[in-house]
């Protein structure tokens, strides 16, 4: 029942009675369909709350719903949170919207650091629904690699803002898009879709090797 899932993605919170009334479907159908996504919603007193909208969005896309139709119910916060959740599930310490205000102005969407290996994933999230042309991706990648270099240059300041930077030994610049990107790397920056992020993290060094991307080694500070 695609309409039900789109309804929940749009509303984020609705009672079962509201769903029955607005979509004109039976209670039995509602219960059956929400059981399919039960691990990604909360239900309390017949009030359904979507707690993982990006899962629901990617689920709909896999069912054949267009990116354009799905993405109008998403915002950049959803996209960044979902990227962070995937990193966290792989054991990374994660921070969203990391900011420096001195000695430079700097903001990074999502940063994940693996304490054991010292690997850092520095993410710029692009949730544009219509896809991103090659020229735009090249510009985005160029800006992101410069952002990462600036962060590493001022890492001593960054450590004062987030203590997990002390574990950082190497940094991997990564752009995450909603749609499948037209190019996969540029200027030592990996580019993947949100649907691919989990598998990329599973095989990160294999993926980097395939595209000839070298993690940026961190000098001792």
Residues 88-97: tens digit of each pLDDT:
989 999 999 9
HSE-up of 18 (CA within 13 Å, CB side)? 11
Place of tokens 């509602």: 30
pLDDT computed for residue 131 by the predictor? 62
How far apart are the C-alpha atoms of 9 and 221, rounded to whole Å?
45
Cβ neighbors of 9 (< 8 A, separation 6 or more) are 50, 53, 56, 57, 60, 70, 73, 74
How far apart are the C-alpha atoms of 220 and 171, rounded to whole Å?
13
Return the CATH number of 76-217, one of 3.40.50.620, 3.40.50.1000, 3.30.420.40, 3.40.1350.10: 3.40.1350.10
- Answer whether CATH 1.10.10.10 is correct for domain 2-71: yes
CATH topology identical between 2-71 and 76-217:
no
How far apart are the C-alpha atoms of 189 and 148, rounded to whole Å?
10
Whether 73 shows a pLDDT value over 90: the answer reads no
Domain range summary for the chain, segments of one domain joined by +: 2-71, 76-217
Mean pLDDT over 209-215 rounds to: 96
């Amino acid at each position: 029942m695609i309409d039900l899932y789109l309804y929940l993605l749009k509303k984020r919170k609705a009672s079962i009675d509201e769903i029955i009334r607005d979509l004109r479907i039976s209670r039995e159908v509602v219960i059956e369909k929400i059981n399919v996504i039960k691990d990604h919603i909360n239900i309390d007193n017949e009030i359904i709350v979507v707690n993982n909208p990006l899962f629901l969005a990617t689920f709909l896309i896999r069912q054949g719903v267009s990116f354009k139709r799905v993405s109008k119910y998403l915002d950049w916060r959803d996209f960044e949170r979902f990227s962070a959740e995937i990193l966290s599930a792989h054991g990374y310490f994660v921070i969203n919207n990391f900011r420096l205000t001195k000695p430079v102005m700097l903001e990074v969407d999502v940063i994940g650091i693996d304490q054991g290996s010292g690997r850092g994933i520095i993410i710029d999230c692009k949730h544009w629904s219509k896809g991103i042309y090659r020229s735009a991706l090249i510009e985005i990648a160029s800006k992101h690699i410069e952002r990462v270099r600036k962060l590493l240059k001022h890492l001593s300041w960054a450590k004062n803002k987030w203590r997990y930077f002390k574990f950082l030994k190497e940094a991997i610049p990564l752009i995450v898009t909603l749609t499948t990107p037209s190019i996969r790397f540029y200027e030592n920056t990996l580019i993947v879709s949100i649907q691919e992020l989990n598998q990329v993290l599973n095989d990160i060094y294999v993926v980097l090797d395939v595209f000839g991307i070298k993690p940026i080694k961190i000098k001792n500070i």
